[in-house]
Structure 1
Amino acid sequence: MKTFRGGCILGMMLPWLFCLPLAASFPKVTIPAELQSVEAHVAVNATSCSVTCGLGLQVEETCEITPAGERKNCSMRRSHCTTTWGCGLQHLTIPVGKPMVLSCLTSDVIDLGVRGYSCTWKVAPGLITMNDVLFAPFRNPGFAVAFSPTKESDAGTYRCDVRMLKTFRVIKRIYFGVRVIRNDLVDLDFGKSLTREQKLAVRNEEGIEANVTLVDVEERLHFWQRKSFPRSLIGIGSGLVGIVVVSIALRCLQERLRSRGAENQTQF
């Protein structure tokens, strides 16, 4: 009976045994008086990253936060931001002799400062590929590679990796697939292959003769260069064919009437 009573008493005391030590294990934290008046600089707002992959820029709004939670002395500053590290493959077609620059980072990111980042280049000569096994180291110390002039031997795929110096983690990888062609094989004059409407659209995008309409363009062209000229030819041709057919039909009818008149005269 004594054991039973002790068990009952112990069971009744268990909730108190669990509650009392928990309350005693978390002492009350007091903030020192000198820290209660400290103001902190906190980023309260930020824009989205300027790029969809790799290292970009964002604009942050930082403010001083008082102990009462008020904001003051707010300012805007630019800072680096990172998104997904894979940027895929970009295709480039360059004629022989033309200069070419492959930049791993945008100019605004470089202008802000890239001391905490490093860049390594690799190349797969003569191939357009994303198979990393086919790449060999390409010595280039900067974030951009310049070719001036471009040679046929420069064709291939160039891979750029941007890493953080502290963690050596890759934050951007981009592939540049470069095709180098000879000028005597292919004409890369894009303007020659454009239609009148496409040329007008290009002029409007460049801000040249933006107020010109298709009607004005048609009026400046010679009549044989206008879009309506083939339609006019078809209409004129159809009209001439119709006139010839009608004249032949009238002549045949006239001859039949004459022949019938001659037969009637011979009968009388």
Structure 2
Amino acid sequence: MMTTETSLTLGIFVFAFVVSLSVASEETSATPITIPKELRAAVAQVLVSSTSCSVTCGLGYKEEKICVVETDGKRKHCTQRKVDCLSNWICGMQHFTILVGKPFEFSCLSPKEIGPETQSFRYSWRLARGIITTDDALFAPFKTPSFVVKLPSAEEYDAGTYRCDVQFMKTYKIVKRIYFGLRVIPGDLVDMNFDKSLTPEQDLENASPQQNTTVAPGPERWWSWRQRAAFVFLVGIGSGVGGGLLLHTLLRCALKAGGDYEQVKE
């Protein structure tokens, strides 16, 4: 165990070390710092503002504003420039369903990405035929030289998942990966014309979605409702009359049978 004398000795050494540090810091703070004249007159280019990336995934660009800031804080000689930006290189999957025989095309680049810089990219396509998936082990090379896949007449054989990788030629780095899930179905299997399957009420709502229109029932609807009401009324009356006659006949037969039994008994 540590004795009392040893503890006291260590405490004295620690106190002396702290006091020496405090004295040295006071001497340093009291010493004036001399800034050279060249440094006082120096100016710097500073990034003062920047926009967000032009795309949410893939290689885009953003605009930056750079100004010369003087020693008094004034800005001058400001310039705008565009720089590349990459927020996320995986862009998920887009799903499409088309009919057999219909032309269809899909692009690896969005309209914002198509421009003079398009030649700076390399595109590679892969296909997982007949399945919708993102498992990279199921994809096989699909040869197409462009960033657009065009199907002049879609067939069921064309269904599957297409994967596009965009590679930036300056750095040989993949800057975008996007999947396209394509379903191709026969035309006689389902009618994809949504408007043809609407009821008259849904058709009116689809034609004027912003108007709260109350559709009044037409004459034919009123007439059919009256026919149903009259039919129910007549059925009720007929059932009541028939039941009353049946009950009257049964009572009469019962009374007659009772009278005949008493006569025979006498």
Give the alignment's TM-score, normalised by structure 2.
Answer: 0.63
Write the distance in 1 (CA, Å) between the matches of 2:229 and 2:123: 67
Gap change, CA 1:15 and 1:258, over 3 Å in 2: closer
Amino acid at match of 1:213: T
Contact 1:93 1:181 (C-alpha < 8 Å) held by counterparts: yes
Contact 1:159 1:173 (C-alpha < 8 Å) held by counterparts: yes
Residue 132 of structure 1: aligned partner = 136
Gap change, CA 1:242 and 1:121, over 3 Å in 2: same
Residue 215 of structure 1: aligned partner = 215
Deviations 1:134-184 (A, max 9, x none): 212222232221111223332221101123333333332221121222223
Question: Displacement, 1:100?
Answer: 0.8
Residue 5 of structure 1: aligned partner = none
Write the distance in 2 (CA, Å) between the matches of 1:253 and 1:170: 92
Residue 239 of structure 1: aligned partner = 233
What SS does the aligned partner of 1:242 have? helix
Contact 1:119 1:143 (C-alpha < 8 Å) held by counterparts: yes
Write the distance in 1 (CA, Å) between the matches of 2:119 and 2:82: 15
Equivalenced residues, count: 238
1:176 matched to 2:176: no
1:46 matched to 2:51: yes
Residue 188 of structure 1: aligned partner = 192
Gap change, CA 1:191 and 1:124, over 3 Å in 2: same
Contact 1:55 1:105 (C-alpha < 8 Å) held by counterparts: no
Contact 2:161 2:181 (C-alpha < 8 Å) held by counterparts: yes
Deviations 1:205-237 (A, max 9, x none): 6xxxx6583517x55xx735x9x96x6665444
1:122 matched to 2:97: no
Contact 2:64 2:83 (C-alpha < 8 Å) held by counterparts: no
Gap change, CA 1:194 and 1:57, over 3 Å in 2: farther
Which moves more between the two structures, 112-121 or 245-254? 245-254
**Equivalent residue for 1:31, pick from 39, 45, 65:** 39
The equivalences for 1:1-268 within 5 A come to: 15=21, 28=35, 30-31=38-39, 33=41, 35-36=42-43, 40=45, 42=47, 44-47=49-52, 50-51=55-56, 53-55=57-59, 60=63, 62=65, 64=67, 66-67=69-70, 68-69=72-73, 81-111=85-115, 113-204=117-208, 211=211, 213-215=213-215, 223-224=220-221, 235-248=229-242
**What is the aligned-residue identity percentage?**
36
Deviations 1:36-69 (A, max 9, x none): 3x7x574525257553x434576x4736464354
What SS does the aligned partner of 1:130 have? coil
Contact 1:61 1:74 (C-alpha < 8 Å) held by counterparts: no
Contact 2:93 2:181 (C-alpha < 8 Å) held by counterparts: yes
Gap change, CA 1:118 and 1:98, over 3 Å in 2: same
What SS does the aligned partner of 1:215 have? coil
Gap change, CA 1:254 and 1:171, over 3 Å in 2: same
Give the alignment's TM-score, normalised by structure 1.
Answer: 0.62
What SS does the aligned partner of 2:112 have? helix
Which moves more between the two structures, 102-111 or 114-123? 114-123
RMSD: 4.8
